Structure 1
């Protein structure tokens, strides 16, 4: 089942690479650079340039070795469009039961954003497999630790302001994985075509996460 295979890839690497604002012309070399750095799960946000084209291109060209997600999905219509374009999973910046149920009907992985214990448990009651803790850096590592006190069995993925430094700390605090945006898919490197820098950064992030898990 696709959903379980995506979950396994996220868990094994500890990373979701978030791509925001990247034109389709740069999406394939970026994905290749990330793949060479060990990334197996990539998210294209819906507020990116021609995001449906990027998702479709990735699915066609690297869909045999990477899992393609769509982020910043705000309603069921957007969810339907990204799934039609080839997205393997869907993420949102909020918790919207209508989006969750629609994606689940398509038997795809849905990762909604949650912040409070009430949102976390409500999402779980709808059968959500993974939870996006957002905005993670603003909430802080201590917040994750405290939430995981009574809810230690839940797979939380911190997203928002993730850096190399706090990746280790979030992993140490029990994060299932992290979602990394600008610190990994650096716009200056993309504009300069410095794909080797992105590959090296991906390797460093994955190493940082696993070091945190082992600490």
Structure 2
């Protein structure tokens, strides 16, 4: 999928579902439940056992409906392997020029993690289109609002500690989308087979973002 389409879907829907530590046999039910709630972008983290197989399965079975990505991509070799498995974008917790180069050479979207103005401007110079503000919960919505003073043209995706209680505040501070892990892809709900509640949570997150982005 073309990079601009991936970016547009992320910004239009506002939510990237982060799947971490999930069992392979649960993957398709999770993805279907999230999709039914309006989530169209999903990432499997590379510290999840069997992540390449899960990315491959998602790309094969949900690739027409959802944007499939990889998270926690820490080096260029991993970047290559997730692309080969079918990922159309990658996220990282850090700013690694080698990972950015590897993804850009394949014309794939890379969303690196940034936490300081220096990292943000460095990422911009490396041609990064979207940046992961991490750890967003610890930094706070006020931090985002203040860095967007001098850096208003940077498009941020807060990740880490985002929930229904603070997501509106971040959206109003200028975030374009959010990465949500356990607050959305909740382990206890999955363990108990309560996939309908995953759908409900997905709907709640998407609706809350939409409401606050346009307020």
Q: TM-score, normalised by structure 2?
A: 0.99
- Deviation of the 1:214 alpha carbon: 2.1
2:11 matched residue in structure 1: 11
Match of 1:69, SS?
A: strand
1:170 matched residue in structure 2: 170
C-alpha distance in 1, partners of 2:24/2:53? 7
2:74 matched residue in structure 1: 74
- Deviation of the 1:41 alpha carbon: 0.3
| Alignment map for 1:197-208 (pairs within 5 Å) | 197-208=197-208
C-alpha distance in 1, partners of 2:2/2:36? 22
Q: Following superposition, which runs of at least 4 residues in structure 1 exceed 6 angstroms of deviation?
A: none
Match of 1:196, SS?
A: helix
Could you say what the CA RMSD is over the residues aligned between the two structures, in angstroms? 0.7
C-alpha distance in 2, partners of 1:14/1:186? 19
Structure 2: where are the runs of 5+ without partners? none
- Deviation of the 1:211 alpha carbon: 1.4
2:160 matched residue in structure 1: 160
- Deviation of the 1:23 alpha carbon: 1.2
1:39 matched residue in structure 2: 39
1:148 matched residue in structure 2: 148
Structure 1: where are the runs of 5+ without partners? none
| Alignment map for 1:1-215 (pairs within 5 Å) | 2-215=2-215
Length, aligned pairs only: 215
- Deviation of the 1:88 alpha carbon: 0.5
C-alpha distance in 2, partners of 1:169/1:17? 19
